[in-house]
A = this chain, B = another copy of it.
Amino acid sequence: MPESPGTMAEWQVSQWFNSERPLRVGDLRGRVVLIHAFQMLCPACVAHGLPQTQRVRDAFAGDDLAVVGLHTVFEHHAAMSPQALAAFIHEYRLSFPIGVDEPAADGPVPLTMEKLGLRGTPSTVLLDRHGRIRLHHFGRLDDLHLGFALGQLLTGSW
């Protein structure tokens, strides 16, 4: 598994869905975290990444694993507003917390996407219990490899 050094800094989220209060990275310390960065009009996210993320949430989320979506809009901004995202989340029955990545003042790429150095959507980021980034994947990630990485991280020793 490719590793990325560094610890996850605070994400910058302008609005949350499926969460009663704002989630902070620090609140998730001690848990493994799966972050799925997507755009609602990205075909590979809709066909593959989001259903996979929902499967992970349904199968494994709990005290040891948090699953978080991040709407990292870097194109077609007007079409992927938070209002549109609300309709999308409803229609696709997504049940995990989803944050809207804060738009930048001076460019198309939102703040957390920029900070994480994501190359596009879908992207999958895994944090270990200490908040360290342990996997950083752009594009399709198959279930076998994602399950493997989660199994490794959740044993606590990796």
Contact = CB atoms under 8 A, between A and B. Distances in A.
Nearest to A58: B144
| Total copies of the chain | 4
B144 A41 contact: no
B41 A91 contact: yes
A17 interface: no
Contacts of A90: 76
A67 to B, nearest CB: 13
Contacts of A91: 41-43, 76
Most chain B beta carbons < 10 A, residue from A79, A88, A144, A152? A144
A35 interface: no
A151 B83 CA distance: 39
A154 interface: yes
A145 interface: yes
Nearest to A93: B43
Contacts of A60: 148
Interface string A129-158: 000000000000011111111111111111
